[in-house]
Structure 1
């Protein structure tokens, strides 16, 4: 197993670059990407390269709201990651950022990701190290004392497709989603007006049995007012929700991922450690950094304060009978 240690890099940029390199090595072929953990964060940026992106994540209202707003997903499935559709040997790249530490039955979920990879495919993993001092504090401290969730970064828009087929596909997708959002913008004010009418009627004593014992229908708003409201009221995207709480199973660590790759015959092509979580809190001056160093000292080196995250570029061998030496 290859173990490359270099200075920390930005995991998202690294993953996009490795995915682009993989796609360039396979010309005239559409790259299939599995965006694992699509309900939070951003995806890969392959530029004008042809790709098909499928998202999977657990099903919660917050994760579903963010998934529905992502323009880079061609299709997505939310539910139990042990059962959501992931056809075997169907994806060239599996991108799992900040997922392994918050996924229950993480080792089984990883097995599904590996089975869904084509031979020679890439498994791109970014996680918070369970065996770091930051990971220890993150799972032991109360939620209101723990560090705020990872910041969602705005993803640059995907560049237009170079081929005629890709351009047609991109424009059709954009027009379809634009029409759907426009329809939502027209329908939403009608629902708001209807709800307001029901509230006003209920405050005045209805809808309910009137003088003749009949149900009184709520008053209807004028069509012209609805049209004007639809034009003036903008549709606001949902506010960013906090990330799901991390579980930190044993595989969600640098040593755990190394062990997993050895047992499954996978090759770690690149490995990096970083202090993104600590740097976001002001490393060297914040209380969290001081606590991490204290925990590392009390643990006698078992928990490290040198990093908080691990970035791994893992490759599935072309031959499943090959052994990694």
Structure 2
């Protein structure tokens, strides 16, 4: 149950990291890939031309949103393991609430990384499968998710989208993935933004799930937020 959130609502945290990235090198334009483009608006950096491209799974709810957007130069929908993405074409990837809802998540992430230039940034947001919210989301039957979707989210939010939650959608999974590929995690935070937390019923359900699991799936957060850097050195050619 992912909710639309602009990057700006992260307290400009992502924007700060991108400005620092741009300040260290001469750039005429910032090329951004918005992966999971049904959710985030493209990042905007002051005094920098931004060219944003979208990519997402071909889902009816996602397609409806994209057909109404004008902030993407182009976008592609389909199997993200093979969607056409030019290699080393982007300075930044905004990867927003995508990894928890796709199958073969590691292959998808690898595919996206191939399109990132050496030294580029991944601005990652993902629902944590090891949170009480993530557990509740992935064990809820599809009919219940459809029934509760509209009362729990902002009007116009696309969904409900699939809830797959492979191991990569967790802190341990992401750290292991980055370590095996030579990626540097520069920031790692936990936040709360799931739509089920916006009302009494959702909050109570998340708290109950945490209690039933004796806190192994905590209610303290539902979102993992990371900034990941692709290395500049020769190993970057392998990913």
TM interval, shorter chain, is 0.7 to 0.9
Displacement after TM superposition at 1:144 (Å)? 5.2
Aligned residues: 226
- Give the structure 1 partner of residue 87 of structure 2: 88
Give CA deviations for 1:270-300 in whole Å, capped at 9, x if unaligned: 0110121268424xxx233333333323323
Alignment of 1:113-132 (within 5 A): 113-132=112-131
Instruction: Judge conservation of contact 1:129–1:309 (CA < 8 Å) in 2.
Output: yes
Change (3 A) 1:148 1:62: closer
| Separation of aligned partners in 2, 1:152 and 1:125 | 22
- Give the structure 2 partner of residue 299 of structure 1: 213
| Separation of aligned partners in 1, 2:20 and 2:185 | 17
Instruction: Judge conservation of contact 1:268–1:315 (CA < 8 Å) in 2.
Output: yes
| Separation of aligned partners in 1, 2:114 and 2:201 | 42
- Give the structure 1 partner of residue 78 of structure 2: 79
Instruction: Provide the secondary structure at the position in 2 that maps to 1:80.
Output: coil
Change (3 A) 1:151 1:300: closer
| Separation of aligned partners in 1, 2:172 and 2:160 | 24
2:159 paired with 1:245: no
- Give the structure 2 partner of residue 203 of structure 1: none
Asked which structure has the greater RCO (Cα within 8 Å, sep 6+), the reply is: 1
Displacement after TM superposition at 1:130 (Å)? 0.4
- Give the structure 2 partner of residue 112 of structure 1: 111
TM-score (norm 2): 0.83
Tell which structure's C-alpha radius of gyration is larger: 1
Instruction: Provide the secondary structure at the position in 2 that maps to 1:19.
Output: helix
Instruction: Judge conservation of contact 1:34–1:95 (CA < 8 Å) in 2.
Output: yes
| Separation of aligned partners in 2, 1:241 and 1:311 | 21
Q: Which runs of 5+ in 2 are unaligned?
A: 1-7
| Separation of aligned partners in 1, 2:179 and 2:218 | 23
| Separation of aligned partners in 2, 1:300 and 1:259 | 26
- Kindly report the root-mean-square deviation, in angstroms, between the aligned alpha carbons of the 2 structures: 2.6
